[in-house]
Amino acid sequence: MPPPKPTPNPSPYQEPFIRVLDEAALINHEDDPNYYAKYPRSLLSESTVDSFMTGTGDAIYRSLVPLLEATNHELILVTCFWARSSTLETLNALLRKLSEKAIRRGTDKIRVRLCFSSSSLFQKLFHKQSISGQIYSTSSWTKQFGLPDPSELGGLDLQLKSIFILPFSVMHPKFMIIDRKAVVLPSCNISWEEWFEGAITFTGSTVEEFVKFYKHFWLRTDMPDLPASTTYDSKLGQADTTDTQNLDHGHIVTRFSTASKPSTVSKIPTIFLPSPHRRNPRFHPFASSSAISAPPTPLNAFVLTLLAKAERSIRIQSPNLTAPPVLTSILKALERGIDVQILTSERLMILEQLVTAGTTTSRCVKTLVKRYKKLARNIVAGQRRPATDEEAAISPPRLGRLQISYFEPIGGLKGRGEEGGEPQQSHLKMTIADGEVVVLGSGNLDRASWFTSQELGVAFFDKGLVQQVESVLDRAMEGRARVVYDSAA
């Protein structure tokens, strides 16, 4: 049995979540990766948060450069989509600097592993159909993927690898591991889209879970040892202040540690939440949404636990909202009197939604509102029963408040190349329950993320962190959210 790990503080979420995974052990044992299936408590850990930031993917990558430049021996970068972009240019500049660092030191090369799933429709259609993926030769780096010429990266031991399984199994996680000491968890890809994104950086034992995930899925062999003296300075390039910086266009950076002070969000309970890919989307066109169950992956199970066990409020920000189990669980939470606040996108990747879900977010939002209104009418009708009715003595249920907004850029939608740094869609993935726990990562609340894509999320248990995240999002969404339904209005 694996050694015991730090256990999150008692909460209404942890034990029900563990029970679900224990019951699903045989099912999850068929997954890839599945190393946690027989012992789901191995997913429990702790983390110390250094920063949280929002903005476009390009802005976030630029803000992360000082942290990534601290790499001394190994940088692992996993993303979903790879495209020529200003974000890629930022990455290329970083790779050149790391190469120069290694050459200047005259030591071993810095090991860099770049992993992705999708770069184009052609690449996906003709991709090697094996979970071992494919590694690209140095001759393809520049012309096909826009990386620097290998002659510019003499100080790096660099490898570029992709995994994609037809028809819908995209590897959707996005994360970076620095010297196996720190993790960056962004929502953005290496891409040109000017979308609203988020990223959190942290250290602690949760980093070991990311290393294990990378080793089991992307590497599939033992990892080479790093020097025993490997260190990582997560405060590199930081000013001696914890103030939140608002850099315009929703680009806000909050630091919890400074150049001279440790993090104010230290050693907090954390749960690592992988969600393995599957090839079967489980389409049931004639089944009601309440009858459609999602694969019991850790990420799916934990989000459903949050929705089922929340006692006061749920806050969701997701690019799309088409997963039937999520919609059903949101409605049940509202029935219990839980307030639900949702921010999503009205018209993001419509074609992809139709192909992978058979519907769109806007249709699902309309259906959710319709079902909510029906619940409200039923409650009113129940209150009008005759006084002789035995149930009249029971206090009528309180329906939770439902608020739904669509993300809209300030100044309206702009064409590609005309955005001026203003995010055009919301691509952040976040779920908060009761102001106590926040889930961040790659998982959308759509059918693709819940049934076929590989995803990766992390749950952080800390009220102070949640307050800061919500405060940042409130500021970033000012003027960028259009309310489409509010039951209290």
Helix boundaries (H) for 267-421: 298-309, 324-335, 350-357, 361-383
Intrachain domains 45-271 and 273-382+395-486 with the same fold? yes
Q: What is the mean pLDDT of residues 46-73?
A: 97
* pLDDT above 80 for 259: no
* Position 188 confidence tier, pLDDT thresholds 50, 70, 90: very high
The pTM of this model reads 0.93
The DSSP line for 317-354 is: E-S-B--HHHHHHHHHHHHTT-EEEEEE-SSSSHHHHH
How far, in Å, CA of 193 to CA of 416, rounded?
Answer: 8
Q: How far is CA 406 from CA 165, 245, 424, 479, in A?
A: 32, 25, 12, 11
For 79-121, how does the pLDDT look when each residue is reduced to its tens digit (9 = 90+)? Answer: 999 999 999 999 999 999 999 999 999 989 999 999 999 998 8
CA atoms lying within 13 Å on the CB side of residue 478: 12
* Position 450 confidence tier, pLDDT thresholds 50, 70, 90: very high
* pLDDT above 80 for 228: no
Domain boundaries, the chain: 45-271, 273-382+395-486
Helix pair 361-383, 324-335: axis angle to 10 deg: 30
Question: Which position has the token pair 């510019």?
Answer: 152
* Position 8 confidence tier, pLDDT thresholds 50, 70, 90: very low
Q: How far is CA 198 from CA 47, 95, 188, 254, 466, in A?
A: 18, 22, 7, 11, 14
Q: Do 36 and 43 meet the contact criterion of CB atoms below 8 Å apart?
A: yes
Position 351 scores a pLDDT of: 82
* pLDDT above 90 for 1: no
Please tell me whether the peptide bond between 167 and the residue prior to it is cis, using omega within 30 degrees of 0: yes
Residues 6+ apart with CB under 8 A from 119: 81, 82, 83, 145, 162
**Which numeric CATH code is attached to 273-382+395-486?**
3.30.870.10
For 111-159, how does the pLDDT look when each residue is reduced to its tens digit (9 = 90+)? Answer: 999 999 999 888 888 888 889 999 999 999 999 999 999 999 999 999 9
For 30-57, how does the pLDDT look when each residue is reduced to its tens digit (9 = 90+)? Answer: 999 999 999 999 999 999 999 999 999 9
Cβ atoms within 10 Å of 92's Cβ, excluding its own: 16
- The SS3 of residue 270 is strand
**Which numeric CATH code is attached to 45-271?**
3.30.870.10
